A and B are shown apart, each in its own frame.
Chain A
Amino acid sequence: MSEEIERTARRFSSIVLIVIIVVLVLSLTALYQAYELYLTNDPTVGYYLLIGFVGLALSTYMLFQTRRRIQGFTLKTPPITTTIVCSKCGLKNVRNFERGDYILKELGPCTKCEGTMMISAIYREVKQKGKKEKVFT
């Protein structure tokens, strides 16, 4: 059944692509027609201009949407930070997370004093993207 879904999606994608190309060609033709009519001072030039620009906008939008869809198919791995601190002198070391790390894990002696290095924090930082939302407090 899942193959059927994939097939339908693939078929749909190629149909969408053909439709986009057809609309694009037709709208460009309409714009060219508008240019020719403009030279002959024909009053219907406005219609062709309207059709041409609407078609152009529509096909560009559809193309953009298809591209965004393809980009969305990834699983992002956020960077995870491990903070190691010496319990005696406070020496701090920040590095990327490694398999086997856990909070409160003792990692051996400190390089500066006789204290013990320990993982004090493991977290991911989330960068806020996009425009700030209106917050009702």
Chain B
Amino acid sequence: MLPAQFFPGQDSLSWIFQIIFTLLFIVMIFYGQRIQMYVMIREIEGSLLRLKFIRDEGRKIAIKTIKETGKPEVDPTKRVDQFLEYVTIPPQSMDPAGIVWKLEHILDVREDRFKDDVKLMAPAADETNINNLENTLEAAAALNIIYKVIRHFYILGKKTLSLYIIMQIQMILPLIMREAEAYASALKAFSFGQPIGDGAGALVAAKLMHGHRKQKIEKDCVVAKVPLEGRTAYVIKAEGPGGNVGKPGEAIKRVVEKNDGKISAIIMIDAALKLEGEKPGEIAEGVGAAIGGPGTEQYKIEESILKYKIPINAVIIKEDIGDAVSPMRKEIFDATEVAVETVKRVIKERTKEGDTIIIAGIGNSIGVGQ
């Protein structure tokens, strides 16, 4: 009786269905993983095509902007392609003592090299445009490297037919695509010189120092002595409106040394990555050096505050990676006003009248004057 259960009835259609299902079952047993792998490869292929499109668009935007603002005599395409392939080799960390200064030196050399190259590509560009072009090219280079890394894993996965190589890239692909889209919007913002979300901290500092005498301090940074709530505030930001982040760590160190360490508090304002579910433009307060990047500037600030035991406060404006590098959202712009009020409240609560304080607005100053 039991074997009869496995066989269909007398009509031919039931037989056909039974055969199809049995065949499908056998195929799935032997080729299930391979089919799954091809589905993943297909998904990566689609994303890779989009990445290639974004990368090529980025390259085109960079070349077009150089031609428009730099008025080069020769076609800059070859130099741009060379720029996109630049590599920066980080210092050896087997003996970590002194690595901060080695890294800083490498980054300085890299920046000087980038600037020199941009000047060669765009001889007619002024300082602001040179900074913006440098940022544009860096965003294009980031897109190029993202595309190449994904392509590497895609080809490697196809060559080895390893499910695990393909699977690991397929799993992180949505996050990589988000980052690539963010760089694509950054590229447009940089080429037009529009303020970006990352510049929220610099904008807060700009609002505080506006109307007061500014002077250049350290590389690409400005400082203004501002009377604020009965205290003397040294407000520091990267010099705008060109795209640069300056060396705020060095600038803070200089101001602290100039005042023989007699600083009652340091307040740092910076944009920080929000978690999903948090609203863009939310403000959070805390302690510590609110600064991103490779870590060299944070190290300098921490060294200075430790030497003189200066309390350090942080005000952060939350945003996601897409908002940080794309043109500034209204919510983030509005949040800078709230951040100004927060800074004033922190000053009143944490310091006394007559004290000297430092306020540092961290971030890319593209599209933000002072």
Contact = CB atoms under 8 A, between A and B. Distances in A.
Of A99, A104, A136, chain B has the most CB atoms within 10 Å of the CB of A104
A23 to B, nearest CB: 15
A12 to B, nearest CB: 7
Interface string B38-59: 0000100110111011100100
A127 to B, nearest CB: 11
A102 B193 contact: yes
B151 interface: yes
Contacts of A41: none
A75 B184 contact: yes
A99 B188 CA distance: 11
Interface string A1-35: 11001101100100000000000000000000000
Given A101-B367, A103-B367, A103-B368, A5 B193 contact: no
Closest A-B pairs by Cβ, 3 of them: A102-B241, A104-B369, A123-B333
Contacts of B154: 5
> Is chain A's binding surface mostly helix, strand, loop or mixed?
loop
Interface in B154-197: 154-155, 184-185, 188, 192-195
Interface in A97-137: 97, 99-105, 121-126, 135-136
Given A104-B368, A123-B330, A9 B45 contact: yes
A73 B53 contact: yes
B69 to A, nearest CB: 9
A1 B151 contact: yes
Interface of A: 1-2, 5-6, 8-9, 12, 44, 47, 69, 72-73, 75, 77-78, 80, 97, 99-105, 121-126, 135-136
Contacts, number: 93
A57 B369 CA distance: 57
B369 A103 contact: yes
Interface of B: 11, 13, 17, 42, 45-46, 48-50, 52-54, 57, 151, 154-155, 184-185, 188, 192-195, 203, 206, 210, 240-241, 277, 326-333, 367-370
Contacts of B52: 2, 5-6
B192 A97 contact: yes
A100 B13 CA distance: 73
A96 B72 CA distance: 29
A63 to B, nearest CB: 16
Contacts of B240: 102
Given A8-B45, A102-B367, A102-B369, A125 B193 contact: no
20 contacts: A1-B155, A2-B52, A5-B49, A9-B49, A12-B45, A47-B13, A80-B194, A99-B193, A102-B193, A103-B369, A104-B206, A104-B369, A104-B370, A122-B194, A122-B195, A122-B333, A123-B328, A123-B332, A124-B329, A126-B329
A77 B369 CA distance: 23
